[in-house]
């Protein structure tokens, strides 16, 4: 009888445990006004689940001290973001995976519409023929140096660009200091001119766009209007393409790209680039093209010295544009000649090098880079890989391949 009662008690306890809801994860933190340095009270803070888009699964407002707290069972289990909305501008921060109790502090800023608030440091252009079309990608490295710091934002368009005649726009992305690219809608301004409505936060920002042109007879002349002055312009093309561009000088070759550079672009200047030749031949790694014209996206596995890994799938082209990859590394060099020989690619944009970046191993830490920093960078890349998977921009086979490669590199780093 006593044993039966013990069994009943045990089963009752187990049923109670089963009936208990999953423990909710928590995310807490402070929202601070980066312009005034003071806590930001009454700011809306949302919890976003990255599953089939961005689903708002929780909202609150900061208290008088700028503090907030959100609870949800998916925190630490799913890919999630915290969003603070201030003066109509979204400020996003990722919640680290596997952390059921996270502390995320967010800075928000006052707004300015003064066009002098930002500067285009580098304008990078990459081209690659694909049959009868020419794939073109442009990336703009943008610095907001406002003091006191403010976000540059205009409701009628914060950044404008103009496409050559006959160009078909594919996609536009923009990102802030967090290096999280977000696909942008565009506002037509007439005469092939467009704008995006995006807040450029204090620090490093960027815009990337891609389009295609007719490439009949394996030749074309690009007329690229520059609406903003830029400190440096760079042009990348496959070695199978002959380039004639006034003001651009050959600056070596890197990772299968011919590199050309030019110092100082004035606003309103139209860069004229004449091209002829065919795209790079297919690679031997399974039938896909080594360049941007491949039938499948190329994995992004880059040296950890790069500050971020940013990728954009060129929709109908099924091609990965890798412009920013080149730029980020080049920008980080201690001395920048006229780009004597540009370095390795930097983080994402246009046209994929003939020798797929996916095949490149992640370099071991060198110089003053610590093991911890290298590990953290690989973990960050893994996190962004998960973001792309959740957003539906990365096929499952590519996701698995990239993840295995990154996990292998992480194990080798730890063992080393």
Nearest to 399 by CA among 301, 316, 277, 307: 301
Range of 28-32, 113-117, 162-166 with top mean pLDDT:
28-32
Segment 218-271, tens digit of pLDDT: 999 999 988 999 998 999 999 999 999 999 999 888 777 888 999 888 898 899
Segment 151-195, tens digit of pLDDT: 999 999 999 999 999 999 988 999 888 777 888 999 999 999 999
Looking at residue 368, the DSSP 8-state letter turns out to be T
Nearest to 190 by CA among 157, 166, 162, 223: 162
Reported as a pLDDT band with limits 50, 70 and 90, residue 2 is: low
Give buried/exposed letters for 138-174 (b at 16+ CB in 10 A, else e).
Answer: bbbbbbbebeebbbbbbeebbbbbbbbeebeebbbbb
- The percentage of residues in the chain with a pLDDT greater than 90, rounded to a whole number, is 42
C-alpha to C-alpha distance for 210 and 221, rounded to whole angstroms: 17
C-alpha to C-alpha distance for 301 and 347, rounded to whole angstroms: 10
* Minimum mean pLDDT range among 20-29, 99-108, 134-143, 247-256: 20-29
- Which value, to the nearest 10 degrees, does the dihedral of the CA atoms of residues 298, 301, 306, 308 take? 70
Reported as a pLDDT band with limits 50, 70 and 90, residue 286 is: very low
Strand 80-86: give its sheet, edge to edge. Answer: 54-61, 44-50, 80-86, 89-94
Which comes out higher in pLDDT, residue 279 or 387?
Answer: 279
Walk me through the domains of the chain, giving residue ranges and CATH numbers.
Answer: 17-108 (2.60.40.1120), 115-290 (2.60.40.1730)
pLDDT reading at 358 higher than 50: no
């Amino acid at each position: 009888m006593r044993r039966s009662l013990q069994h009943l008690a045990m089963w009752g306890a187990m049923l109670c445990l089963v009936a208990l809801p999953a423990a909710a994860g928590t995310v807490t933190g402070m929202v601070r006004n980066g312009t005034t340095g003071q806590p930001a009270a009454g700011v809306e803070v949302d919890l976003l689940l990255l599953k089939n888009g961005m689903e708002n699964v929780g909202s609150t407002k900061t208290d008088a001290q700028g503090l907030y707290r959100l609870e949800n069972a998916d925190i630490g289990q799913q890919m999630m973001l915290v969003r603070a909305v201030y003066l109509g501008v979204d400020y996003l921060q990722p919640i680290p995976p596997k952390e059921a109790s996270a502390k995320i502090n967010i800075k928000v800023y006052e707004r300015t519409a003064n066009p002098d608030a930002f500067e285009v440091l580098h304008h990078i252009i990459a081209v690659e023929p694909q049959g009868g079309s020419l794939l073109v990608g442009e990336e703009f490295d943008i610095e907001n140096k406002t003091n006191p710091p403010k976000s540059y934002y205009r409701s009628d368009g914060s950044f404008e660009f103009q496409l050559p005649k006959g160009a078909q726009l594919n996609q536009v992305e923009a990102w802030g200091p967090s290096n999280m690219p977000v696909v942008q809608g565009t506002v037509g301004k007439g005469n092939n001119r467009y704008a995006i409505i995006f807040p450029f936060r204090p620090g490093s920002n960027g815009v990337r766009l891609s389009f295609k042109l007719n490439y009949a007879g394996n030749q074309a002349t690009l007329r690229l209007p520059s609406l903003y002055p830029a400190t440096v312009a760079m042009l990348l093309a496959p070695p199978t393409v002959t380039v004639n561009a006034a003001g651009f000088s050959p600056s070596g070759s890197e990772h299968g790209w011919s590199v050309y550079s030019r110092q100082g672009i004035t606003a309103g200047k139209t860069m004229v680039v004449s091209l002829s030749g065919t795209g790079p031949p297919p690679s031997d790694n399974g039938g896909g093209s080594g360049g941007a014209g491949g039938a499948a996206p190329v994995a992004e596995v880059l040296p950890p010295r790069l500050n971020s890994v940013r990728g954009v799938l060129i929709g109908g082209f099924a091609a990965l544009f890798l412009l920013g990859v080149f730029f980020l590394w080049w920008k980080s060099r201690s001395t920048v000649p006229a780009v004597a020989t540009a370095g390795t690619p930097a983080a994402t944009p246009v046209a994929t090098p003939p020798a797929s970046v996916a095949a490149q191993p992640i370099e071991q830490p060198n110089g003053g880079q610590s093991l911890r920093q290298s590990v953290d960078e690989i973990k960050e890349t893994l996190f962004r890989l998960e973001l792309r998977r959740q957003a539906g921009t990365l096929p499952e086979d590519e996701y698995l391949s990239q993840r295995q490669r990154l996990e292998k590199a992480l194990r080798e780093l730890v063992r080393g």
